[in-house]
């Protein structure tokens, strides 16, 4: 516990603290229901959203990593239905957060409005007319998807995923807080006026920026367990100066303490590290998990490198000939080490989970292939797939294929 925590934390213990704070190392529940799902989201604070569906959409994966197989429909009921207890905002990036947490992000809405210049000639010239029309449409018709809105500007522009003027404007209004998300239908956002989504008690709540940042920092430290200033600020994408001020307040209140972690230097000097006073200090962590690229364990690349020795980047937007590991590559956690990474694809038509490549990390051991093979079979079953197929690419592919047979 906090009072007995040493002033110097070994890198291995720091790793275990971080994993325990994120919900790893606990026995998996016999069944996963609403209580377990809500408890997990409350523990990690948010579920980051990403639309890539080659294996599984990102927000489903942290739950599977920590709780095992579960009914995705139950998570949809908590996050994507019109009256779900969670809603969307730009928390880290776009993420599901508690509906009642909206006031904690009012300062960000205001900052977004200032950044993109609403009310200026530039805004009025490029988006103003469309914005006013869209707000009138939502007021008259209630929640709508961008694809449901008839307008001469509602056509996709540019290559690939280029948004229409309607979609771009809706997204800006969402960031400003003038529009809210009233759930999703087939993963497409449904936009609405805030009063069509939130209770008046939520909309009327005002939280001073200093208080909101302090609360977000408190949640960051609790979710991370231990972290540097940059780790803690990054969790909710806060600025360093207000994060440092909030940490000083929390330290005075006894909610965090400063510790040292050898090897966590910055510019050759020890980096200040904060420990949550109620963080667990486990002697060991037992886990076997596939980590989404947007899982809090690995989403901050400098932290992943410092903590796990994992040099990781997402190669989705890298041209195929230049990719090193693959398209949708997931790090593999075994106990308190990241031992491998796998490029996965769910071939739903054939009913097969395809391992397009598998790579061993320095921490891999003799048990890695068999444990990963078992995890992939579990993932395939959760996805409703009947088989796992390992292709011959990567330093772990041959051993993993043998373990699957």
pLDDT tens digit sequence for 359-383? 999 999 999 999 999 999 999 999 9
Q: How confident is the model at residue 160 (pLDDT cuts 50, 70, 90)?
A: very low
pLDDT of residue 299 exceeding 70, the answer is yes
Q: How confident is the model at residue 1 (pLDDT cuts 50, 70, 90)?
A: very low
Q: How confident is the model at residue 122 (pLDDT cuts 50, 70, 90)?
A: low
Q: How confident is the model at residue 269 (pLDDT cuts 50, 70, 90)?
A: confident
User: Would strands 387-390 and 352-360 be described as parallel, antiparallel, or unpaired?
Assistant: parallel
Residues 6+ apart with CB under 8 A from 201: none
Query: What CA–CA distances, in Å, run from 128 to 56, 190, 301?
Result: 37, 21, 38
pLDDT of residue 74 exceeding 70, the answer is yes
Q: What is the largest CA-CA distance in the chain?
A: 65
pLDDT recorded at residue 5: 63
Least confident of 119-123, 229-233, 255-259: 119-123
Average pLDDT over residues 107-125: 78
- Residue-wise pLDDT for 163-184, tens only, equals 588 898 999 999 999 999 999 9
Q: Which residues of 106-139 are buried (b: 16+ CB within 10 A; e: fewer)?
A: bbbbeebbeeeebeeeeeeebbbebbeebbebbe
CA distance 306 to 309: 6
- Residue-wise pLDDT for 3-39, tens only, equals 456 799 999 999 999 999 999 999 999 999 999 999 9
Average pLDDT over residues 218-232: 98
> What is the number of alpha carbons within 13 Å of residue 235 lying toward its C-beta?
27
pLDDT of residue 120 exceeding 70, the answer is no
Torsion of CA 162, 166, 168, 173, to 10 degrees: -160
pLDDT recorded at residue 69: 97
Residue with tokens 């996709």: 156
CB-CB contact of 403 with 369 (8 Å): yes
Residues 6+ apart with CB under 8 A from 84: 77, 78, 99, 183
CA distance 195 to 198: 5
- Residue-wise pLDDT for 201-212, tens only, equals 999 999 999 999
Helices 368-382, 397-404: inter-axial angle, 10-degree rounding: 60
> What is the number of alpha carbons within 13 Å of residue 150 lying toward its C-beta?
1
pLDDT recorded at residue 121: 63
Enumerate the β-bridge partners of residue 352. 347, 387
Enumerate the β-bridge partners of residue 338. 333
Residue with tokens 């971080």: 18
Helices 301-308, 11-21: inter-axial angle, 10-degree rounding: 130
User: For the chain, what percent of residues have pLDDT higher than 90?
Assistant: 83
Alpha helices (H) along 309-396: 368-382
């Amino acid at each position: 516990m906090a009072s007995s925590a040493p002033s110097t934390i070994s890198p291995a213990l720091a790793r275990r603290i971080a994993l325990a704070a994120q919900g790893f190392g606990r026995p998996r529940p016999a069944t996963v229901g609403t209580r377990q799902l809500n408890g997990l989201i409350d523990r990690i604070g948010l579920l980051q959203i990403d639309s890539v569906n080659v294996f599984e959409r990102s927000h489903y994966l942290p739950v599977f990593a920590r709780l095992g197989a579960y009914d995705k429909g139950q998570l949809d009921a908590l996050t994507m239905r019109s009256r779900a207890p969670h809603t969307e905002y730009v928390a880290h990036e776009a993420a599901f957060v508690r509906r009642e947490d909206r006031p904690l992000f009012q300062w960000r809405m205001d900052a977004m409005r200032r950044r993109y210049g609403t009310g200026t000639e530039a805004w009025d010239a490029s988006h103003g007319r469309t914005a006013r029309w869209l707000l009138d449409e939502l007021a008259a018709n209630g929640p709508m998807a961008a694809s449901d809105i008839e307008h001469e500007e509602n056509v996709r522009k540019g290559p690939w995923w280029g948004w229409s003027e309607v979609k771009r404007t809706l997204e800006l209004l969402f960031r400003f807080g003038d529009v809210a998300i009233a759930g999703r239908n087939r993963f497409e956002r449904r936009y609405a006026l805030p009063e069509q989504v939130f209770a008046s008690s939520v909309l009327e709540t005002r939280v001073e920026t200093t208080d909101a940042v302090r609360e977000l920092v408190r949640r960051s430290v609790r979710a991370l367990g231990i972290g540097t200033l940059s780790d803690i600020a990054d969790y909710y994408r806060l600025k360093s100066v207000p994060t440092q001020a909030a940490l000083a307040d929390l330290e005075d209140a006894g909610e965090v303490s400063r510790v040292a972690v050898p090897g966590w230097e910055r510019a050759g000097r020890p980096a200040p590290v904060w420990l949550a006073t109620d963080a667990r200090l486990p002697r060991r962590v037992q886990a076997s998990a596939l980590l989404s690229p947007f899982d809090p364990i690995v989403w901050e690349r400098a932290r992943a490198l410092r903590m796990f020795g994992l040099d990781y980047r997402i190669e989705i937007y890298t041209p195929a000939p230049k990719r090193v590991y693959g398209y949708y590559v997931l790090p593999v956690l075994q106990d308190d080490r990241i031992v491998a990474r796998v490029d996965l694809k769910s071939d739903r038509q054939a009913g097969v989970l395809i391992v397009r490549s598998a790579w061993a990390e320095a921490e891999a051991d003799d048990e890695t292939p068999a444990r990963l093979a078992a995890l992939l079979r579990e993932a395939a079953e959760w996805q409703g797939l009947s088989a796992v197929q390992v292709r011959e690419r990567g330093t772990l592919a041959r051993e993993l294929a043998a373990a699957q047979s």
